[in-house]
Amino acid sequence: MFTLVEMKDTIRIPPWKFRKPLKDAISDELRLKFANKVVIDVGLCIALFEITKLEESYIFPGDGASHTGVHFSYIVFRPFMNEVLVGKIRSCSREGVHVSLGFFDDILIPQDVLQHPSRFDEKEQLWVWVFSNEESGETHDLFMDRDEPIRFRVVDGTFVDTTPTCPENEASESEEKDRRVPYSLTGAINEHGLRLLSWWS
């Protein structure tokens, strides 16, 4: 689920932070810049692990700040494909079951990879697994209730570049129309041992 990623960046330190040791000032800037941010094709940055190398610092004409090339390691959330995770059901829609890990909410289990047969209950706004007992021949409706722990397999991860491409005044208008998620996961529960934890206890 978590991995250590080697990264490199040039960090700008403004003059009023020169009183701090350089490494401390750079650590602060790296945390501000990356913590809880998605880096395309890398993952969701969680925490700075260590600074491995500092290059020469430069001050450019007209800018009193220092600019330093930094090599560093960051702890990143990016599950590998087919990894099994446990989250909680955040909500359900016709699209599928939406799951949260607490710190990451953009997980969808599409309706075609739920257990079969399943149906969407419009009144409750929940998915229901219609479980058939082979011995008795009876069927039972097992609801996928909100906040229930669910075990799922990661089957896809999608990155989207959400960098603004239009001027600020136009950006605010298009924001509501096109809210894109920078990083999302797709899960599946259509195999033995997955599904709600309460169903297997």
Choose one of 48, 77, 106: the last residue of a domain: 77
Q: Are residues 169 and 89 in the same domain?
A: yes
Choose one of 55, 77, 99: the last residue of a domain: 77
Tell me the residue range of the domain where 114 lies: 84-199
Q: Are residues 14 and 96 in the same domain?
A: no
Q: pLDDT tens track of the chain, all 201 residues?
A: 999 999 999 999 999 999 999 999 999 999 999 999 999 999 999 999 999 999 999 999 888 899 999 999 999 999 999 999 999 999 999 999 999 999 999 999 999 999 989 999 999 999 999 988 767 667 888 999 999 999 999 999 999 988 776 665 554 545 544 578 999 999 999 998 898 998 876
* One-letter identity of residue 94: R
- What is the three-state SS of the chain? CEEEEEEEEEEEECHHHCCCCHHHHHHHHHHHHHCCCEECCCEEEEEEEEEEEEEEEECCCCCCCEEEEEEEEEEEECCCCCCEEEEEEEEEECCEEEEECCCCCCEEEEHHHCCCCEEEECCCCEEEEEEECCCCCCEEEEECCCCCEEEEEEEEEEECCCCCCCCHHHHHHHHHHCCCCCEEEEEECCCCCCEEHHHCC
> What is the structure's pLDDT at 172?
53
Query: Phi-psi category of 182—alpha, beta or left, where left has phi over 0 and alpha has psi -120 to 50?
Result: alpha
Q: Are residues 60 and 96 in the same domain?
A: no
Q: Which two tokens stand for residue 26?
A: 């750079």
Q: Are residues 131 and 190 in the same domain?
A: yes
- Which pTM does this prediction carry? 0.85
- What is the three-state SS of 137-185? CCEEEEECCCCCEEEEEEEEEEECCCCCCCCHHHHHHHHHHCCCCCEEE
> What is the structure's pLDDT at 164?
74
How many domains would you assign to the chain?
2
Q: Are residues 52 and 92 in the same domain?
A: no
Choose one of 77, 107, 140: the last residue of a domain: 77
